[in-house]
Amino acid sequence: MGDVRDRMRDDLRLRCYRQGTQDLYLAYATKFVAHFMRPPAELGQEEVRTFQLYLQDERKFQAGTIKGYLGAIRFLYAVTLGRPDVVAGIIWPRMRHKLPDILAGAEIEAVFAHIEALRYRAILMAAYGVGLRISEACRLCIGDIDSKRGLIHVRDAKRGRDRYVMLPTRLLGALREYWRVARPPGPLLFPGEGRTGVVSPAAVRQALRAAVAKSGVTKRVTPHILRHSFATHLLEAGTDIRTIQVLLGHASIRTTAHYAQVSGRVIAATTSPLDTLGTSEAPKRG
């Protein structure tokens, strides 16, 4: 796309999109333009519609990937090219909302027992212990750990928001054990190979997959499922959903309320109106 690509990159930077999102949007927009082998200024609503049909006909593309392509195309025309009319008629794909497998406490213990590298164990304990996203855990700095106040300062999280989360005693112990062995020079708590940049989230995921395979746990386990399990276990323990929202860094309580659907214990403990018929708790007519 030449100059248009450079301008789109600058527009993404000006709007503080994360580097990963910038790279993805630029790649998707480039593939869209290459599909028609014409400059983006010569393309319009009909080409956008044709391309979306192409993505949906290619069964290898999931709804989330299609949304990524459409988001990039919308940014290209609505922001960079100043032609919002081209993308005004985009029809967003319907997402299938799957409920994640929530791990039992014994399953989480089994997985942690098979994570050999101290830094990976500490990072994944942070994913479950305080509900951090994998990117948030990998980017932690030494100064973010406040052992005196019992807090972790999560900086520049999703949408640029900061927040505080608790510092569990067991996580603090894991961090101190890692510190005694690794002695990271700072400011990063988990520097990458060669001490440049942060540890790769891909490497953490690989370590988790290896631990799950050894543990005998048959459920699908990812760092984000550890975060889901954190929220669900808090809910089942009676923690207020507003508190869980703050800990997870959700912008909307509706996102956090999703865990009420996940928690089988909460659902099972809910009394059906059928069981109140003939009692003083039976529904009254309005």
**Confidence at 270, pLDDT banded by 50, 70, 90:** low
| Mean pLDDT, residues 49-69 | 84
In the chain the domains, ranked by start, together with CATH numbers, are 3-87 (1.10.150.130), 105-268 (1.10.443.10)
Judged against a pLDDT cut of 60, whether residue 286 lies above it is answered with no
- 3 state DSSP class of 127: helix
| DSSP strands (E only) in 121-207 | 145-146, 151-154, 163-166
The 10 Å CB-count burial string (b at 16+, else e) for 254-284 is eebeebeebbeeeeeeeeeeeeeeeeeeeee
- 3 state DSSP class of 166: strand
Q: What are phi and psi of 146, to 5 degrees?
A: -110, 90
**Residues with catalytic function:** 133, 158, 224, 227, 250, 259
**Residue 42 CA: distances (Å) to CA of 32, 48, 77, 177:** 13, 12, 11, 59
Q: What pTM did the predictor assign?
A: 0.71
Greater model confidence, 28 or 242: 28
139 in Cβ contact with 192 (< 8 Å): no
- Give the separation between CA 112 and CA 118, rounded to whole angstroms: 10
**Cβ neighbours of 67 (radius 10 Å):** 13
Q: What is the pLDDT of residue 273?
A: 64
Half-sphere exposure of 190 (CA within 13 A, CB side): 26
Contacts of 166 (CB under 8 A, 6+ apart): 130, 150, 151, 152, 247
| Mean pLDDT, residues 26-46 | 94
Tens digit of each residue's pLDDT (9 = 90 or more) over 162-198: 899 999 999 999 999 999 999 998 899 999 876 568 8
Q: What is the pLDDT of residue 263?
A: 64
